[in-house]
Chains A and B, each alone.
Chain A
Amino acid sequence: GQNIDQPTEMTATEGAIVQINCTYQTSGFNGLFWYQQHAGEAPTFLSYNVLDGLEEKGRFSSFLSRSKGYSYLLLKELQMKDSASYLCAVRSATDSWGKLQFGAGTQVVVTP
């Protein structure tokens, strides 16, 4: 199985940068995903990493180190609308059907 750990909550100021860390343990690795979930809504896809390194997509970037079982999601130039829960999810290499195991999520609160 997989253990996925991420902080419960983070608070940052509008315009600032926040880094959300995620560590995982898995019997085999086949990709790490980040999702954003606003309260009462469904999660929406943000980023995907399968190789080591940084993937940049506008204000959001995601980093992966497979040897360390570690990823982070970097949110730059924070806006009020970025207040949401951010979910780290891992796909196992032993799973041929594309299932994802999710962490509990990190609630990001953006203050004025």
Chain B
Amino acid sequence: SQTIHQWPATLVQPVGSPLSLECTVEGTSNPNLYWYRQAAGRGLQLLFYSVGIGQISSEVPQNLSASRPQDRQFILSSKKLLLSDSGFYLCAWSQGAGANVLTFGAGSRLTVL
């Protein structure tokens, strides 16, 4: 069966510090991978998606970047965090397009102080 791992679960970072969130998927190959952010009391906002190694699409301009160095690894990064980067970050995967279900990791709660 497929599983998705995301870490760290919680982190508190000062403004201007770097960020790296990691996500890996097991039990499948060539998944579509996604990074979503959920601000407090808000819906899920799609940040990045990837359909293959080295292929990254950004949905909104922002202070973050994403990379996919391996087939089942997706990384969210920032060189200098802003207060507005605080939120709940969720990695997700799906297999192919169409009806396939989006499955989420457990999430990473980031607080920027």
Contacts and interface: CB of A to CB of B under 8 A. Distances in A.
Q: Are both chains from one complex? A: yes
B42 A98 contact: no
Contact of B49 (A42, A43, A99): A99
Interface stretch (B12-20, B63-71, B78-86, B91-99): B91-99
Interface in A82-112: 87, 89, 95-105
Query: Interface range on chain B: under 10, 10 to 19, 20 to 34, or 35 or more?
Result: 20 to 34
Nearest to B100: A98
Contacts of B96: 98
Contact of B102 (A30, A41, A45): A45
B105 interface: yes
A11 interface: no
Query: Interface range on chain A: under 10, 10 to 19, 20 to 34, or 35 or more?
Result: 20 to 34
Contact of B105 (A42, A45, A99): A42
Interface string B43-64: 1101001010000010100000
Chain A's interface: helix, strand, loop or mixed, by majority? loop
A98 B32 contact: yes
Contact of B94 (A40, A87, A98): A98
Interface of B: 32, 34, 36, 42-44, 46, 49, 51, 57, 59, 90, 94, 96-107, 109
25 contacts: A4-B43, A30-B98, A31-B98, A31-B99, A33-B102, A40-B107, A41-B107, A42-B90, A42-B105, A43-B90, A43-B104, A45-B103, A48-B101, A87-B43, A97-B49, A97-B51, A97-B97, A98-B100, A99-B34, A101-B46, A102-B43, A102-B44, A103-B43, A104-B42, A104-B43
